[in-house]
Each structure stands twice: as C-alpha cells, then as structure tokens.
Amino acid sequence: MKKLLLPLVLFLFTINGFAQITKIERDEVIKETKVAPMGKFWASMTLYEDRAEFMVRDAKFQYLDKYVHFQLDIETMNQLYDLLTNGEAKVDDEFHVNTLGKETLYIYFKKSFGKVFPTIFIYEGKYDQSASYMSYLNNKQYAKLFGKK
C-alpha cells in the first residue's frame, strides 16, 4: 500500500505545481529596425500589426546610456514620418504628438547650417519637467528607422 500511495501523492503534487505556470503569448513582430551610426545606438523601432514601439537613446547625456520608450499607432507613425521627412516644416514650427502611453512628443523645428532640422523632445508624463530628446537624424536615417527603406 505504501508503494502505491507514495507515487500517487508525488504525481498529484507535481501536476499541481505545473498548474501555476502560464505561457505568455506575444504579438507577432512584423519588422525591427535600428539606427546606430558608427556602432553607437540612437534609436530603434519594432513594428507590430496595430502599433509601433520606439526606443530612443536620450541625447541629453553624453556618457550615460538612458533609453526612452514610447508607442504609436500605425497611422500616427506614418504621419510622423511624413512630417519629419517631407521638408515642408518652417523654422519655429511646433507639433505635439500623443502616444499610446502617457508620453508626449514635442517636435520643434529650428535652422542649423542652412537646413531646417526637427528636435524631438519626449515628455514621459503630464508633469515631467526634464524632457528627454532625440539626436538629429537625416532623411536617410529616418527612412531606415521607420522601415521605409
């Protein structure tokens, strides 16, 4: 009887232990892109069916690597790409982009060396006083980041 009872008890406890583990289903990744000139990471995008996740290195720090994450829906991502690359923005134009999370992108265009460049500030919350910002990218790097290349 003891020989039968011991394997039966061990079998029941083993099944109960496995019942606490659940598998996490992840969304399917459509495309992953990265901008890393000279091997130094600046930004990356992971594209899913319904959204795009961006990870940006904060350019505010020279020697520290701090990364900021934000998500955009597909339509907003395409509008942002058009805004950054079409060249129609004028000096001192300002734009706000609401993300899917609590972050807000603040885009300010200024002139440097005769060209108009966007500066993208990322506010991580409603009352964030120290915004992160993204390094300047050219149109080719934006095309690579947004997966248009």
Question: Tokens 């992108």 sit at which residue?
Answer: 105
The total domain count for the chain is: 1
What lies within 8 Å, CB to CB, of 144 at 6+ separation is 33, 35
Give pTM, 2 decimals: 0.76
In a domain, 13, yes or no: no
What value does the mean pLDDT of the chain take?
84
Output the domain CATH number for residue 106: 2.30.31
What are the backbone angles phi and psi of residue 117, rounded to the nearest 5°?
-120, 145
Q: What's the pLDDT score for residue 132?
A: 84
What would the pLDDT profile of 55-91 be if each residue is shown by its tens digit? 998 888 778 888 889 999 999 999 999 999 998 888 8
- pLDDT band at residue 16, thresholds of 50, 70 and 90? low
- What are the DSSP calls for 86-128, one per residue? SS-PPTT-EEEEE-SSS-EEEEEEEEETTEEEEEEEEE-STT-
Question: Tokens 């095309």 sit at which residue?
Answer: 143
In a domain, 41, yes or no: yes
In a domain, 79, yes or no: yes
